[in-house]
Amino acid sequence: MRHLLWPLLLFVHTRHVAAAVRRGGHCFDACDLTLTYLDFNDTDRALSKKSRTCQSALHATSLYLCIDEHCVEDGREEWLDGVNGTCQNAAGISIPPWTIIDTFTPEDRAHVRRLKAEEGMWYSRGPPLNEVVLPDDDFFDRAFKTLEFAFFEIDTHWLYGIAMYYFWAAVITIGICWRLAFLIQEIRHRNFQRIPGDDLELEDVNGRKGAQVTLRAYGLLKRYILVPATFGYRCAQNIGWCTIPPRVQSLTIFAFVILNLILCCISYPVFAGNLYWPLVSTQLWRYVSDRTGVIALANFPLIWLFGTRNNVLMWLTGWGFGTYNSFHRWVARVATVQAVVHSVGYTEMVFERGNWSLFMKYLRKHYFWNGEIATVLMCAICACSVYGLRRCHYEIFLVTHIFLSIIVLLTTFYHVEIFNGEWNIFIWPCLAIWILDRALRLLRILAFNRIIWNTYATATYDSTSNIVRLKVPCEQNLVRPQPGAYYYIYVLNDLLFAHQNHPFTLAYMSSNDGADSTDGIHISRHCRADSTTSSVSSESSSLLRPTSPRSPTLTFLIRPYDGLTSRLRRICTSASRTSVRVLVEGPYGAQQPLHTFPSVLFIAGGTGIAVALSYLPSLLREDGESEVVDVHLVWAVREQALWKQVLQTDIPSMVLRDDRFRVTVHVTKDVDDGGKDADDAIDSSHIADRRYDQEVIGHVEAKGGRPNVSAAVEDAAQEVGRAGRLAVVACGPAQMADEARRACVGVLGAGYTGVEYFEESFKW
């Protein structure tokens, strides 16, 4: 029992007299340690051991003589003041003054009895001493080394815990530099274009050669590190019960894991004869357990930071939620393994000195059972976060995840409580990050609509396209969404599920100037305007909250699967057009610099079209901000009705008429009412329905069957050539994204170094 408690005292003790201890090199403490095993007979036996030690003149004399013999004078006063202070606080006793050893002549000292370590430690169980004693040199050395290494370990644990922050700071710094380099290059490129032919002569051949080398190196970097999946081809798709992130992320995570492994394995100065833990194996258990415990704890704030939606780093580096989420998972896994080693180590040390009854005795200790619970729950969280559960039962996953994390944080708090709050410095940041994230989420909701319960969206479900179209009025919205922005949407119709929220990419915001091209909106506006004057109204317009016909709206295209999205569909099927009360949290997400590429290829699947829709207007703008000269959208859809609807109502006719834009639609299943063979049913003239002229039809091509993603990427790369720049954006099912990624790696390998891959998908 005492063995386990020592280090606790050690912690408390270090900070108490930290300054003196460092200078005295633990020498004073070593003398003190040799005497803690002894009991002197010159005090009242009724007092506590602590009071007796403080009071005993024999003890003080022995201690002072030992210090005088072994230690430099430097720092002694402070150290004694510390001991005196402890005695004052604990027992109200003042220790005897240093001058009590003045009477000891060198001869006296030579005659003082020297205790061997075995003797000295034996006395802890023997009769009290009646004389002044000193440790012999070996005893003192062992005490000194014991302390020296124990304190060294404490410093090392701390240092290695902090190393985690250095690691991630380095990673983030690289990310920021990378982004800055991209921006600077972008600005230079643009300035260069603004003044054509101006600088050409000034740029010397060397400079261009240098640029070429950089470009080639960058191409290789993309080919082998930045773009590919970690192994082979699967990246967005799961492999059994896990998902493996792209290669850069995997390398980062790998480096982190290796760093943790190394830091948990090195710097253990064990020796035979340690006074605390005589066995070398016990010392190892002890040090390893402490090391893993401290590093696990140091990893906590990182886990919380990487797991939150409002993460400053996301904003600094431009890396998406998915990237930080894989960091979140891996830091958490590493911390869990460390916590397990920590717990196993301490449990093993208990069993080394006792049996089940001793273990049960420990389990009654507050810090002990809290620690065991924290470890068990951390394992539970990891087990509940496997891809399968996350994917299939997202809501259940999220609720248990949050609930268990709260308990883990709480139990960890009580676990480290014994150290007088020393280690809370890793607990409070977690709480702060969490609270800050929640506050920012609330702020975003408020920024969207100050009266948060007062947002009524119009949801329409169309069974032919199997899409819920959600239109959210946003006249109160303060933050203008950027292309690629996504929002978390809560549906408040059923309070039981009100906490459920899913991210959806904003397809577009129809502005209030009436210039938006979508006929559907015009029609519905018309209906609404009519309904106020005439009795003719659409069947459900009474459900609609009267919104100003000119109010801007956000449009989301939602595929109903399960959970929130299927609930939305259920709500809608009661009426063809329904008003739902929603809470909108956003916008999130960074805009990708697609407008800096002359060519952009979208590979979209199903509702992934939302990503393309959100970027199209900004890519095709005329004000010179965009460098795009060619946008190709390859879009696979199951339902005929979906692509027709989207082309008719969601893509502005201005975009459709733009010569820079073309669409290839691939219909993979024909669920159109006609029931005809897919290839027959596909006819570009469909989209001409009343609205579009020949010019538009020229830009739209419809085909049957899945698109050949790699062929699409290769064609696009060949079109821009080896010197050209092309952005490939994948937004659709995981398999499609993986194919696009692989195709990009392929064309990068073929020398098209200007190809850049972007993936827009939500990964948890």
Ligand X SMILES: *[C@@H]1O[C@H](CO)[C@@H](O)[C@H](O)[C@H]1NC(C)=O
Ligand Y SMILES: NC(=O)c1ccc[n+]([C@@H]2O[C@H](COP(=O)([O-])OP(=O)(O)OC[C@H]3O[C@@H](n4cnc5c(N)ncnc54)[C@H](OP(=O)(O)O)[C@@H]3O)[C@@H](O)[C@H]2O)c1
Among 15, 18, 41, 621, interactor with ligand X by CB under 6 A = 41
Taking CB under 6 A as the rule, does residue 733 contact ligand X? no
| Binding footprint of ligand Y, residue count (CB under 6 A) | 25
DSSP 119-163: HHHHTTTSPPB-S-EEE-HHHHHHHHHHHHHHHHHHHHHHHHHHH
Burial of 43 (0-12, 13-18, 19+ CB in 10 A): buried
Least distance (Å) from ligand Y to the CB of residue 227? Answer: 17
Taking CB under 6 A as the rule, does residue 84 contact ligand X? yes
Select the binding partner of residue 605 from ligand Y, ligand X, none (C-beta < 5 to 8 A, by kind): ligand Y
Among 237, 424, 708, 735, interactor with ligand X by CB under 6 A = 708
Taking CB under 6 A as the rule, does residue 592 contact ligand Y? no
Q: What is the DSSP letter of 669?
A: S
Nearest CA-CA partner of 169 in 177, 179, 158, 180: 177
Nearest CA-CA partner of 578 in 473, 501, 471: 471
The Cα–Cα gap between 220 and 119 comes to: 69
Among 436, 528, 714, 749, interactor with ligand X by CB under 6 A = 714
The Cα–Cα gap between 317 and 397 comes to: 28
Q: In the range 679-738, which residues lie near ligand Y by CB under 6 A? A: 706-707, 709, 731-733, 735-736
Select the binding partner of residue 95 from ligand Y, ligand X, none (C-beta < 5 to 8 A, by kind): ligand X
Among 10, 78, 128, 718, interactor with ligand X by CB under 6 A = 128
The Cα–Cα gap between 554 and 475 comes to: 10
Least distance (Å) from ligand X to the CB of residue 746? Answer: 9
Least distance (Å) from ligand X to the CB of residue 21? Answer: 18
**Which window, 132-140, 424-432, 590-598, 709-717, contacts ligand X (CB under 6 A)?**
709-717
Q: In this complex, which beta carbon is closest to ligand X, that of residue 21 or of residue 80?
A: 80
Taking CB under 6 A as the rule, does residue 130 contact ligand X? yes
Query: Strand locations in 606-748, DSSP E?
Result: 630-637, 661-667, 700-704, 726-731
Least distance (Å) from ligand X to the CB of residue 720? Answer: 16
CB 96 within 8 A of CB 63: no
CA distances from 258 to 90, 164, 255 (A): 46, 12, 5
DSSP 611-626: HHHHHHHHHT-SSSS-
Among 405, 607, 648, 753, interactor with ligand Y by CB under 6 A = 607
Taking CB under 6 A as the rule, does residue 197 contact ligand X? no
Taking CB under 6 A as the rule, does residue 97 contact ligand X? yes
Closest residue to ligand Y in the complex (CB)? 606
Give the sign of the dihedral formed by CA 195, CA 197, CA 203, CA 207.
positive
**Which window, 201-209, 526-534, 705-713, 751-759, contacts ligand X (CB under 6 A)?**
705-713
The per-type count for the chain, helices as H runs and strands as E runs, is: 28, 17
Q: In this complex, which beta carbon is closest to ligand Y, that of residue 756 or of residue 760?
A: 760
Taking CB under 6 A as the rule, does residue 22 contact ligand Y? no
Taking CB under 6 A as the rule, does residue 711 contact ligand X? yes
The Cα–Cα gap between 290 and 264 comes to: 10
Taking CB under 6 A as the rule, does residue 88 contact ligand X? yes
Taking CB under 6 A as the rule, does residue 124 contact ligand X? no
Least distance (Å) from ligand X to the CB of residue 486? Answer: 31
Name the residue with tokens 């095709």.
620
Q: In this complex, which beta carbon is closest to ligand Y, that of residue 143 or of residue 736?
A: 736
Among 400, 710, 718, 735, interactor with ligand X by CB under 6 A = 710
Taking CB under 6 A as the rule, does residue 593 contact ligand X? no
Taking CB under 6 A as the rule, does residue 314 contact ligand Y? no
Q: In this complex, which beta carbon is closest to ligand X, that of residue 84 or of residue 668?
A: 84
Taking CB under 6 A as the rule, does residue 212 contact ligand X? no
Q: In the range 486-545, which residues lie near ligand Y by CB under 6 A? A: 505
Taking CB under 6 A as the rule, does residue 559 contact ligand Y? yes
Nearest CA-CA partner of 439 in 308, 258, 613: 308
Select the binding partner of residue 566 from ligand Y, ligand X, none (C-beta < 5 to 8 A, by kind): none
The Cα–Cα gap between 716 and 419 comes to: 62
Which amino acid appears at position 397 of this protein?
Answer: F
**Which window, 125-133, 428-436, 473-481, 671-679, contacts ligand X (CB under 6 A)?**
125-133
| Binding footprint of ligand X, residue count (CB under 6 A) | 13
Select the binding partner of residue 128 from ligand X, ligand Y, none (C-beta < 5 to 8 A, by kind): ligand X
Select the binding partner of residue 97 from ligand Y, ligand X, none (C-beta < 5 to 8 A, by kind): ligand X
Q: In the range 609-648, which residues lie near ligand Y by CB under 6 A? A: 610-611, 636-638
Q: Mutual orientation of helices 709-720 and 734-749 as an angle, nearest 10°? A: 40
Pairing of strands 456-462, 508-510: unpaired
**Which window, 233-241, 276-284, 413-421, 710-718, contacts ligand X (CB under 6 A)?**
710-718
Taking CB under 6 A as the rule, does residue 94 contact ligand X? yes
Structure tokens at 628: 């795009």
Which amino acid appears at position 746 of this protein?
Answer: G
Q: In this complex, which beta carbon is closest to ligand Y, that of residue 377 or of residue 712?
A: 712
Beta carbons within 8 Å of 203's beta carbon, 6+ residues apart? none
The Cα–Cα gap between 570 and 462 comes to: 12
CA distances from 463 to 307, 567, 760 (A): 36, 15, 26
Among 481, 606, 652, 754, interactor with ligand Y by CB under 6 A = 606
Q: How far apart are the first and last CA of the chain?
A: 45
CB 505 within 8 A of CB 611: yes
Pairing of strands 553-558, 508-510: antiparallel
Least distance (Å) from ligand Y to the CB of residue 708? Answer: 7
Pairing of strands 577-588, 486-491: antiparallel
What is the pattern of x (binds ligand Y, CB under 6 A) and - over residues 165-184?
--------------------
Positions in the binding site for ligand Y (CB under 6 A): 505, 559, 605-608, 610-611, 636-638, 668-669, 706-707, 709, 731-733, 735-736, 739, 760-762
Positions in the binding site for ligand X (CB under 6 A): 41, 84, 88, 94-95, 97, 127-128, 130, 708, 710-711, 714
